[in-house]
Amino acid sequence: MSVPSRSPYVVVGAGIHGLSTAYHLARELAARGLGSDEDVLVLDKSTPGSGASGIACGVVRNNYFQPAMSELMQACVEVWESDPEAYAYNPVGYIALGAAVQEADLTATYERQERIGYRSELVLGEAEVDAHMKGLFPDWRAQGVTACLHERQGGFAFNMDSVRGLHGKCLAAGVTVLEGVEVTGFAESSDGAITGVETSEGTIEVGEQVVVAPGPWARDFWAMLGLPETIDIRTPSGDVVPDRPMWTYWNLQEGEITVDPVVFATADGGAPPVIHLDTDAPLHTDDGKLVTDELWGVYFKRDRHGVQGGASPLVVDGDVELDPYPSTTDVDPSFPDMWCAALSHSMSRFEGCRARYKTARSGGVGAFTADNFPVFDYLRPNLYAILDSNHGYKMIGVGREVASVLLGGHSRLLYPFRFERFETGDLHPVSSSPYPWS
């Protein structure tokens, strides 16, 4: 594979963020008459979608307790909705069901959605939630759920298909996407500006700017740029928590049951919304064994060949091995029992589904920042980083915002995710969710 000796814009990583950025940048350059077709180059050490974007469950939701996340997701849903076919987007909606401890968070999220015009409905009270769910799924049987946020927008997309859709849009917009080119470092001038991208195939001189969108490999790029492994964090109260690891890794546990997908349909035969259930009701397997009597949570959606979803992730202790991605993922061996018990706990149609659990590698490793929220920022005068803290398949609109920033614009939506927040204490509020990504 030969690489060009020079490119005005180099984007590293052909996942959802790298491709979305390249596509929107190429379009903007053309619209503003600022360049030629050949101005944007994407490099990937493997192939498009070989990172987290190609294995994501694909859930697209707005349900975030943090205002900045919620507003950014609204813009992202706008992009999904702009071309559902190319993005393999299924606008089936999304339902978050919570235990009493999450009622206040879901209510706050719903109220914000009302304000910003994101279509959703809030149902409170155990009997009311039960009736709402039974209206959709007559065999709904999860008890003790007291809050339900039903988002009428969002849903899910098919992971590799949407990457292919974006890849196709990039090519049509004149972007060059090179596979099998590994970035190994950067050449820089005395003011820290990046002058060249060093790759396994030689150095590419940078005319204007570089964007890195490395997904789980965030830590490697952080190190390449000489940034510290630990940082001090100023909390909103002014206290400083010293030496927090900038990157931690979690194994995301996911799985699938092989059933006729139409088994999972709404009462009127329609496509079901994505379901996310958090509850403190005791969870038992179909043969009566107690799985847990503490707060637990799962999510699931209809897939092409069955029902797919996941549960809370597990922290990776010690060093993480990322390559070959994603086969290094470690999933709790008891995950299939727990996840299938949870499906059956929710709807009687899933009783006995443990026997249909697909034994295959599933899930993947994700990189999380020191506060579990993305960093979208310039890390060098002309190097912009999209480090999404594993929230990001749904964030297809971040590339659109980044493209505008690269061309001198300001993004109100990206501003709350600047790296400086750790120093200034402008952190995002913390929710009561058991997940690191809510």
Element (H, E) at 94: strand 94-98
Question: Interface with ligand FAD by CB under 6 A: which range of 84-92, 142-150, 233-241, 388-396?
Answer: 388-396
Q: In a 10 Å sphere around its CB, with 0-12 CB exposed, 13-18 middle and 19+ buried, how is residue 420 labelled? A: exposed
Sign of CA dihedral 327, 329, 331, 333: positive
Half-sphere exposure of 108 (CA within 13 A, CB side): 14
Smallest distance from ligand FAD to CB 346, Å: 18
| 323 forms part of the interface with ligand FAD (CB under 6 A) | no
| 58 forms part of the interface with ligand FAD (CB under 6 A) | yes
- The residue from 35, 306, 364, 416 that contacts ligand FAD (CB under 6 A) is 364
Nearer of residues 53 and 113 to ligand FAD, judged by Cβ: 53
**What order do you get walking across the sheet with 306-311 strand by strand?**
120-124, 147-151, 94-98, 274-279, 296-302, 306-311, 254-258
| 216 forms part of the interface with ligand FAD (CB under 6 A) | yes
> Which segments of 163-289 are extended strands (E)?
176-179, 183-188, 194-199, 202-212, 230-234, 240-245, 248-252, 254-258, 274-279, 283-284
- The residue from 11, 43, 341, 342 that contacts ligand FAD (CB under 6 A) is 43
Q: Are 349 and 367 in contact (CB under 8 A)?
A: no
**Window 8 to 27, contacts with ligand FAD (CB under 6 A):** 12-18
Nearer of residues 129 and 405 to ligand FAD, judged by Cβ: 405
Return the number of other C-beta atoms located less than 10 Å from residue 134's C-beta: 13
Question: Interface with ligand FAD by CB under 6 A: which range of 82-90, 185-193, 338-346, 359-367?
Answer: 359-367
| 196 forms part of the interface with ligand FAD (CB under 6 A) | no
**Of residues 360, 342, 359, 361, the one with CA closest to residue 351:** 342
| 46 forms part of the interface with ligand FAD (CB under 6 A) | yes
CA distances from 236 to 239, 372, 428, 431 (A): 8, 16, 9, 15
Nearer of residues 123 and 212 to ligand FAD, judged by Cβ: 212
Question: Interface with ligand FAD by CB under 6 A: which range of 38-46, 109-117, 202-210, 240-248?
Answer: 38-46
Nearer of residues 213 and 307 to ligand FAD, judged by Cβ: 213
| 390 forms part of the interface with ligand FAD (CB under 6 A) | yes
- Taking phi over 0 as left and psi of -120 to 50 as alpha, with beta for the rest, 388 belongs to alpha
| 53 forms part of the interface with ligand FAD (CB under 6 A) | yes
Question: Interface with ligand FAD by CB under 6 A: which range of 41-49, 63-71, 118-126, 172-180?
Answer: 41-49
What is the contact surface with ligand FAD in residues (CB under 6 A)?
12-18, 43-46, 50-53, 55-59, 182-183, 213-217, 252, 254, 363-364, 366, 386, 388, 390-394
